[in-house]
Structures are given as C-alpha cells and as structure tokens.
Amino acid sequence: MFIFLAQVDLKPENLLIANNNALKICDFGLATLFRSQTTKEERKLTTYCGTAPYSSPE
C-alpha cells in the first residue's frame, strides 16, 4: 500500500537535518493526502496555497 502526499509549502523553514545528515520534511499543515485509488484528474490541485517566494514558476 502506498500513501501519496503532496507537501505544498516546501521551503527552508520546513526542512530539518537529522544527526546523520538525513533531510527531514516537516510542517504538513498544508499537505494533501491522496488515496492510491485516486485518479490522475482527482490528484490535480486546483487551489493555490504555499509561500510565494518558494513556489515553482508554473
């Protein structure tokens, strides 16, 4: 079973570095959970959310 999760507010403040130098993503407050049965059309995010300076241009 897979869990599909979209972290839509990825920015430096939401990244942590563990003692073994592993990168950890935190702050999933704006994350969206998708079930594995969700169709590609249903996985499209239609609402903008996130931090503008760190958003991708598209």
Q: Active-site residues: which are they?
A: 9
13/5 Cα distance (integer angstroms): 19
CB 29 within 8 A of CB 8: no
How many angstroms separate the first and last alpha carbons of the chain? 31
